[in-house]
């Protein structure tokens, strides 16, 4: 299975907000699955996208989109999540005109499928898909190696001060940089061989919500919240 990162034109995204800056960025947290959802908007055209919305917090996200006077074009999933149900289905009904987006490789349903290197546009900005082989694919042999090279070639070759906003974080950190991950990440600073050994022996517990989250996410989440 493959995950992805979205890359948004470097310079602007290093500026968190302030109306003098053309791009608007809001990071939001969902505590049950420790998922970060991101709202990105063009202050001029008011077109916006949401990245990795969660079902439970989709009403909050829709409210913020309305309060900020934005028009949501896309609700994007960076991967078919195993740890929560996506909010993209609910957002499509809360904010008519919004389309769900996911990578074609995920095999999940969506209004729009994109491939590695494809971009989606909102106002003067574009977000490009960087396909990365994700840990979800373990324990299939060979995947850790692919992940290692994927991150080293696609992420660590970006400028050192490029900001990395996480999809999840369990320590309460909200942002990092390419430079920090390249020099400090306890796993990614290992050699490829050592990395593969660590990843193949993680023995992680099965994600709590995987049995209902993955089937639901293959259909773009659900249209109405569970009763």
Q: How far is the CB of 5 from its own copies (least distance, A)?
A: 17
Residue with tokens 């500026």: 15
Q: Burial, 106: exposed, middle or buried (Cβ in 10 Å; 0-12, 13-18, 19+)?
A: buried
CA separation for the pair 46, 67 (Å, rounded):
12
- What is the distance between the alpha carbons of residues 123 and 137, in angstroms, rounded to a whole number? 35
Phi-psi region of 97 (alpha: psi -120 to 50; beta: other; left: phi over 0): left
Is residue 184 classed exposed, middle or buried when 0-12, 13-18 and 19+ CB atoms within 10 A define those classes?
exposed
By Cβ distance, which residue is nearest to Fe ion? Answer: 81
For the bound state, the minimum distance from the C-beta of residue 25 to its own copies, rounded and expressed in Å, comes to 8
Pick 65 or 196: Cβ nearer its own copies: 65
Smallest distance, its own copies to C-beta of residue 227, A: 22
**Shortest CB 118 distance to its own copies, Å:** 26
User: Toward Fe ion, which CB reaches closer, 24 or 114?
Assistant: 114
Cα dihedral 58, 60, 65, 71 sign: positive
Rounded Cα gap, residues 103 and 109, in angstroms: 10
Nearest distance, CB of residue 177 and its own copies, angstroms: 7
Q: Among its own copies, Fe ion, none, what does residue 15 contact (CB within 5–8 Å per kind)?
A: its own copies
Among Fe ion, its own copies, none, the one that 172 touches (CB under a kind-dependent 5 to 8 A) is: its own copies
Q: Which does 81 bind (CB under 5 to 8 A by kind): Fe ion, its own copies, none?
A: Fe ion
Residue whose CB is less far from its own copies, 178 or 222 = 178
Footprint (CB under 5 A) of Fe ion, residues 89-128: none
Q: 47-86 mask for Fe ion (x: CB under 5 A)?
A: ----------------------------------x-----
Structure tokens at 164: 């990395």
Q: From its own copies, Fe ion, none, which one binds at residue 57 (CB under 5 to 8 Å depending on kind)?
A: its own copies
- Residue 96, SS3 per DSSP: coil
CA distance 104 to 81: 14
Binding site for its own copies (CB under 8 A): 11, 14-21, 25-31, 57, 60, 64, 67-68, 160-161, 163, 171-175, 177, 179-180, 184
Cα separation, 170 vs 114, whole angstroms: 29
Contacting residues toward Fe ion, per CB under 5 A:
81
């Amino acid at each position: 299975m493959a995950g992805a990162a979205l890359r948004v034109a470097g310079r602007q995204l290093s500026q968190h907000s302030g109306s003098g800056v053309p791009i608007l960025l809001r990071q939001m947290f969902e505590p049950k699955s420790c998922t970060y959802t991101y709202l990105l908007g063009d202050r001029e055209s008011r077109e916006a996208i949401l990245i990795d919305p969660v079902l439970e917090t989709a009403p909050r996200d829709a409210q913020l989109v309305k309060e900020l006077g934005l028009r949501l074009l896309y609700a994007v999933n960076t991967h078919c999540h195993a740890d929560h149900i996506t909010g993209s289905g609910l957002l499509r009904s809360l904010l008519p005109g919004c389309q769900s987006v996911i990578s074609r490789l995920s095999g999940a349903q969506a209004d729009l499928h994109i491939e590695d290197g494809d971009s989606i546009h909102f106002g003067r900005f574009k977000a490009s898909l960087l396909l990365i082989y994700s840990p979800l694919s373990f324990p299939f042999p060979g995947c850790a190696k692919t992940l290692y090279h994927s991150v080293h070639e696609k992420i660590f070759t970006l400028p050192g001060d490029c900001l990395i906003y996480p999809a999840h974080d369990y320590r309460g950190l909200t942002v990092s940089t390419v430079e920090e991950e390249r020099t400090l990440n306890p796993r990614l600073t290992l050699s490829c061989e050592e990395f593969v050994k660590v990843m193949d022996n993680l023995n992680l517990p099965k994600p709590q919500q995987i049995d209902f989250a993955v089937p639901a996410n293959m259909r773009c989440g659900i249209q109405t919240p569970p009763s």
